[in-house]
Amino acid sequence: MLFQVENEYSSYNACDSSYMRRLRNLAREQLGDDVLLFTTDGFSIKSKCGRVPGALATIDFGTDTDPKKAWFGEKGRKAPRGPLINSELYTGWLDHWDEQHQTVHATVLANSIRKILNMGASFNL
């Protein structure tokens, strides 16, 4: 089982490493050592505030992003090592009142998934 410690904390204006450590410690206390902990940040975020020792650092991106650039490009991969995981592959976007419903065509999503899998990587929808 995987447990996400925090979601896109590097996008927030704070950089509180004690907060991240406390969340990690709470997860360990409640879930034990057999659960893999991870964090998620947008692939283009330069900050490393969303990382915490003892948790795998993953990235997220949408179907309009080239997975190779997300993981290996100039703005890419945050984790120095570990598996390639898109822990939040966007299948659409947020809907807001009085705006058009946001969708991604199934073919576009399938092509994005194919690119990820062809790299030997993993994803979460």
Model confidence pLDDT, tens digit, residues 49-82: 899 999 999 999 999 999 998 888 766 655 556 7
pTM of the model: 0.85
* Buried-state track 44-71, b at ≥16 Cβ within 10 A, e below 16: ebeeebbbbeebbbbbbbbbebebeebb
Tell me the C-alpha to C-alpha distance, in Å, between residue 35 and each of 22, 55, 117, 123.
16, 10, 24, 18
**What total number of domains does the chain contain?**
1
The more confidently predicted of residues 94 and 6 is 6
Domain that holds residue 102: 2-123
Domain with residue 38: its CATH number is 3.20.20.80
What are the residue numbers of the active site?
A: 8, 88
